[in-house]
Amino acid sequence: MTAPLPRPPVALTIAGSDPSGGAGIQADLKTFSALGAFGTSVITALTAQSTTGVTDVHEVPVAHVRAQLETLVADVRIDVVKVGMLASAPLVEVVHELLTTGPLAATPVVLDPVMVSTSGSRLLAPDAVDAVRALLPRADVVTPNVPEAGVLLDEPPAAAAADLPEQARRLRELGARRVLLKGGHLDGPESVDLWLDDDGPVALRGPRVATTATHGTGCTLSSAIAALRPRHDGWRPAVREARGWLTEALRHGESLEIGAGAGPVHHFHELVRWRATT
């Protein structure tokens, strides 16, 4: 008799939908599956989107977002939460409430403060930034990119990797417990992210992958961290593994040949390579 498989960690993504499959809920669920977590989702917004841009956003009514989440957690035990696109202040506020009360009050949270898509489309209302700042203390890890950090801090974005530690420190002053400040927007031969927790700053360096397949990179990294956290003793090793996995997903993204714009990363690159060798 075959032994039963171990129970996988259950990850929840609270985010917007991307019909092209490269970002948002779709990218999160693919990432969860690729990394061995069982994915669940609460949809906050429906986008009309492709690899070339976002043409429309329809916010899900706040009452329905509440109903989705309350119905889910009344039945399913959630081990980790990833929060992505929240679109508006009322949506941020209801998610904040539901993460601080009830079954999710002690659940680890990774917050990706989605504000602008890879193609440059705005995904967060300007008047919602204060609500996102108020959500920072509830997150165990916050993963802004350079432009998003600038918006949260109400100052110009970092111009070089040397600026990242100070901006990460100020994000902690806003209440963030741990910060992964992503430096992918910065020029240079390496990709440099800045990790900051109670033990101090650490520069995480890796190869910069030359690719046009960058759609959903931020969504994918944050959901990878969430999926991997239950398998590690702490956040830092989960972040390191997630970054390494994303590097390979970026490296193989162009092989998918999806769309005419910034294509998606290859979430299932490991599975495809395994099949190719068996």
Mean pLDDT of 214-221: 95
* Structural domain contains residue 39: yes
- The answer to whether position 270 is within a domain reads no
Q: Is 118 a catalytic residue?
A: no
Q: What is the DSSP string of 100-132?
A: HSGGGTTS-EEE----B-TTS-B-B-GGGHHHH
Active site residue 150: no
Residue 27 structural domain: 10-256
Q: Any idea what the CATH number is for the domain that residue 37 is in?
A: 3.40.1190.20
pLDDT higher than threshold 70 for residue 1: no
pLDDT tens by residue, 113-122: 998 776 667 7
* C-beta atoms surrounding 7 within 10 Å: 9
**Beta strand 10-17 with 38-50: parallel, antiparallel or unpaired?**
parallel
182 is catalytic: yes
Which two structure tokens, joined as six digits, stand for 202?
Answer: 């650490």
Active-site residue, 219 included: yes
**With left for phi above 0 and alpha for psi between -120 and 50, is residue 182 left, alpha or beta?**
beta
pLDDT digits (tens, 9 = 90+) for 26-67: 999 999 999 999 999 999 999 999 999 999 999 999 999 999
Average of per-residue pLDDT values in the chain? 94
| Catalytic site residue from 16, 31, 84, 219 | 219
The confidence score (pLDDT) of residue 119 equals 65
Quick check: is 229 in a domain?
Answer: yes
5 part of a folded domain = no
Q: Is position 23 within any domain?
A: yes
Res. 137: pLDDT tops 90: yes
**pLDDT tens, 167-185?**
999 999 999 999 999 998 8
Catalytic: which of 24, 216, 253, 263? 216
84 is catalytic: no
Range 185-191 average pLDDT: 85
pLDDT at 278 over 60: no
The DSSP result for 145-162, as a single string, is BHHHHHHHHTSPPPSSGG
Q: Which of 47, 182, 220, 263 is catalytic?
A: 182
Per mean pLDDT, which range of 85-89, 115-119, 147-151 is the poorest? 115-119
216 given a catalytic annotation: yes
Mean pLDDT of 207-224: 95
Give percent of the chain above pLDDT 90: 86
Return d(Cα 266, Cα 262) in angstroms, integer.
13
Rounded average pLDDT over 81-92:
97
Q: Is the pLDDT of residue 274 over 60?
A: no
pTM: 0.95
Give me the pLDDT at residue 5, please. 81
Residue 236 has pLDDT above 80, yes or no: yes
Interatomic CA distance for residues 184 and 176, integer angstroms: 20
| Residue 2 maps to a domain | no
Name the domain count of the chain: 1
Out of 214, 220, 253, 263, which one is annotated catalytic? 214
Q: Say what the pLDDT of residue 50 is.
A: 95
The verdict on residue 268 lying in a domain is no
- 75 within domain boundaries: yes
